[in-house]
């Protein structure tokens, strides 16, 4: 006899439903947990008891409070996995942008992805900041904005802004 994945109860391999004998041997859930023709298998597999949900990325059941709420539904990934996924997308996008600009600092040749910044040569021509882009895909608008920038490591970037600040104070 088959065993229900949700309630762990045994259920009969065949049963008469709507006047027809139905084969239930391949079912994962009993008729109480998943009524016939309800098509709710995905829901049953991704939700535990009333207050938990399974995150497909970490493959763990977590309380519903561990998932972001989007208007009237719960997000697919738990908050931790959502943050990781978002950070990975950001790093992938930054890698594309830095590769487009040569992949290393123009001054000192630093090539660590996390240390590289985009410095606008003319702040007046700046339409948007590359770090604020939420597309995560390279397109012509982003390439146009990258063409207005040079790639500097964070240390050289600070030095460059320091030179500009000192020039404003007429201390050079």
> For 112-162, what is each residue's pLDDT tens digit?
999 999 999 888 888 888 878 766 678 888 899 999 999 999 999 999 888
What pLDDT is recorded for position 104? 94
* Residues linked to residue 54 through DSSP beta bridges, in sequence order: 61
Range list of β-strands (E), the chain: 14-17, 20-23, 52-55, 60-63, 67-70, 73-78, 116-120, 149-153
> CB within 8 A of 93, min separation 6: which ones?
133, 135, 136, 137, 138
Q: Considering the entire predicted model, what is its pTM?
A: 0.62
Q: Cα(30)–Cα(2) distance, rounded to whole angstroms?
A: 8
> For 1-53, what is each residue's pLDDT tens digit?
888 877 778 889 899 988 999 898 888 888 888 888 776 555 555 555 567 88
- Give the residue extent of every domain in the chain: 1-46, 48-91, 101-168
Alpha carbon 108 to its chain's center: 33
> For 102-111, what is each residue's pLDDT tens digit?
999 999 999 9
């Amino acid at each position: 006899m088959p065993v229900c994945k949700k309630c762990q109860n045994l259920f009969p391999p065949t049963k008469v439903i709507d006047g027809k004998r139905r084969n239930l041997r391949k079912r994962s859930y009993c008729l109480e947990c998943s009524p016939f023709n309800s098509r709710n298998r995905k829901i049953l597999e991704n939700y535990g008891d009333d207050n938990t949900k399974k995150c497909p990325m970490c493959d763990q059941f977590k309380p519903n409070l561990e998932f972001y709420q989007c208007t009237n539904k719960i997000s697919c990934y738990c908050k931790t996995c959502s943050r990781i996924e978002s950070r990975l997308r950001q790093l992938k996008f930054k890698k594309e942008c830095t590769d487009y600009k040569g992949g290393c600092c123009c001054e000192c040749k630093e090539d660590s992805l996390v240390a590289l910044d985009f410095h606008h040569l003319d702040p007046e021509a700046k339409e948007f900041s590359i770090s604020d882009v939420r597309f995560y895909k390279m397109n012509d608008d982003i390439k146009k904005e990258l063409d207005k920038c040079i790639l500097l490591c964070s240390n050289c970037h600070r030095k460059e802004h320091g030179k500009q600040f000192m020039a404003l104070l007429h201390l050079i």
